[in-house]
Structure 1
């Protein structure tokens, strides 16, 4: 089966403050559904209060990140699903629960994983 990344920038979640708990509950319900279906691999959000660092081959750590990922934030879900069509279905469920579109990306096949 193929692993798919579903993600969104945190700024895209648009809903009224009074709907916060509903969004949380619906999001958790979709993730539980994915777990129950046996397709859930990982999910979570980037902790935007912790700045990113770069780690070099020798272990040297420097503050910052690649320029193209400077704005990397938001929520991520990885599901392992047999078809892209099913991945689109799951992305739509997550989009509905989170109140924002999901970017869908497919991981390349790694024979060692």
Structure 2
């Protein structure tokens, strides 16, 4: 099996009216529950950037820590789902379900076959 990161950019869900958020949350949880039932779920969550608390930092190779915001050139991730599936096509099917639930396009990336992917 291979792990895939299914994600969307920060701000990708900004078009959703506030009144629709409970429905979107329910749909997203349903996709995660379905992935759990299918035995492919690894992890899912959203990332917080705007609650006034420092939620992200950059740690340089010399250990220097710089609290956000990131430089403009960096892509910020809004949310993720990680699935462990046998084929890319299955990861794309999960991404399609996630896109429908979250009402935004999803980016699909394969993790490398490193020591933690066995």
Q: TM-score range by the shorter chain?
A: 0.7 to 0.9
Question: Which residue does 1:83 correspond to in 2?
Answer: 87
Contact in 1 for aligned 2:41/2:84 (Cα 8 Å)? yes
Task: State the 1:6 CA deviation.
Answer: 0.7
Task: State the 1:58 CA deviation.
Answer: 4.6
Query: Superposed, which structure 2 residues align to 1:1-113 within 5 Å?
Result: 1-13=1-13, 14-49=15-50, 50-64=54-68, 65=70, 68-69=73-74, 71-110=75-114, 112-113=115-116
Contact in 2 for aligned 1:48/1:73 (Cα 8 Å)? no
- Structure 2, unmatched stretches of 5+, are none
Task: Calculate the aligned-residue CA RMSD, in Å.
Answer: 1.8
Q: Deviations over 1:18-77 (max 9, x none)?
A: 2211111011000011111111111111111335322234533223446532x4131111
Task: Determine helix, strand or coil for the equivalent of 2:89.
Answer: helix
Task: Determine helix, strand or coil for the equivalent of 1:34.
Answer: helix
Write the distance in 2 (CA, Å) between the matches of 1:61 and 1:18.
Answer: 38
Taking structure 2 as the reference length, the TM-score comes to 0.82
Write the distance in 2 (CA, Å) between the matches of 1:74 and 1:4.
Answer: 16
Aligned length: 111
Taking structure 1 as the reference length, the TM-score comes to 0.85
Write the distance in 2 (CA, Å) between the matches of 1:24 and 1:37.
Answer: 20
Task: State the 1:16 CA deviation.
Answer: 2.8
Task: State the 1:78 CA deviation.
Answer: 0.8
- Structure 1, unmatched stretches of 5+, are none
